[in-house]
Amino acid sequence: MSKMKRIISLLFLPLLLMLVLSGCKGESVANENIAKRIKEEPTIIWGVKYDTRLFGMMDIKTRQVEGFDIDIAKAITKEILGEEGKAEFVEVTSKTRIPLLKNGNIDAIIATMTITEDRKKQVDFSDIYFDAGQSLLVKKGSPIKSVKDLTADDTVLAVKGSTSTINIRKHAPDAKILELENYAEAFTALQSGQGQAMTTDNAILLGMASENDNYELTGGTFTNEPYGIAINKGQDDFLEEVNQALHKMHDNGIYNKIFEKWFPKDAEGRAKKGAQF
């Protein structure tokens, strides 16, 4: 029996060693100095949404992700690394973005991510790059004109892992809430009548309304939801470079140019408050 145990141990030893080394490698990647690495390998890996119109949406024809967040990430990469700099994009969701960042799979998150005190405990945030607020999307003609109109008879659709659920419970405590995996599923649920309103940041809802004339935003915003770029704790040098790039983009007009491209109707009023430096 003891001989058999020794044989089994010898067989599993290489596997055990591989797992240990793999774990060490993952830890080293998560803790590496990003600012130093990107000088040697001029590539920044960004976690972005693939399902959020106007901010990060996969174009089926070109197979390229496009949006405001994407263009801002490309511009920041260029400011930090120059023309040779490359921006790579990895799809994230509201649930996966922080774990992917903490594990070192991505260098930064630019994915309609609201700056909150709870999130600051896990990650560091850049300066505000987009000043959003939570709103409601409803079918045209809906009796719901503001968050105050939501009652116990209404179901509000939200996305798992976002701040929207917490906020709607505060402002409409009687309303029922149905959480979906992503914005596309939530909007489909709204169209199929599973809820009377969908809630998230107004900028995201504007993108949905722009593609479907049967739906509209109502009641204005009822929260302040500033977006920031999330960077892992301990990456102070990289965070400073990102903030410096944002400042330069604001001063040289690149930020406003990108804003006007994606939000032409709001460009004059919101470009000035979209980035607060």
pLDDT digits (tens, 9 = 90+) for 29-58: 678 999 999 999 999 999 999 988 899 999
Task: Tell me: pLDDT of 220 over 70.
Answer: yes
Compute the mean pLDDT over every residue in the chain, rounded to the nearest whole number. Answer: 87
Are β-strands 197-201 and 215-218 bridged in parallel, bridged antiparallel, or unpaired? unpaired
Residue 265 is predicted with a pLDDT of: 61
Element (H, E) at 185: helix 183-191
Pair of tokens at residue 167 = 């906020």
The 10s digit of each residue's pLDDT in 203-218 is: 889 888 888 899 999 9
Q: How confident is the model at residue 11 (pLDDT cuts 50, 70, 90)?
A: very low
Model confidence band, residue 157 (pLDDT cutoffs 50, 70, 90): very high
pLDDT beyond 50 at 261:
yes
Residue 170 has pLDDT above 80, yes or no: yes
Average pLDDT over residues 151-165: 93
Confidence band of 259 (pLDDT split at 50, 70, 90): very high
Quote the crossing angle between the two packed helices 202-211 and 183-191, to the nearest 10°.
Answer: 50
Q: State residue 276's pLDDT score.
A: 45
Instruction: State the pLDDT confidence band at 245, using cuts at 50, 70 and 90.
Output: very high
Q: What is the mean pLDDT of residues 93-117?
A: 95
What predicted TM-score, i.e. pTM, was given to this entire model? 0.71
Strand, helix or coil at 12?
helix
Residues 6+ apart with CB under 8 A from 273: 131
Scored b (16 or more CB within 10 A) or e, 9-44 reads eeeeeeeeeeeeeeeeeeeeeeeeebbeebeeeeeb
Mean pLDDT calculated for residue range 230-239: 98
Q: How confident is the model at residue 268 (pLDDT cuts 50, 70, 90)?
A: very low
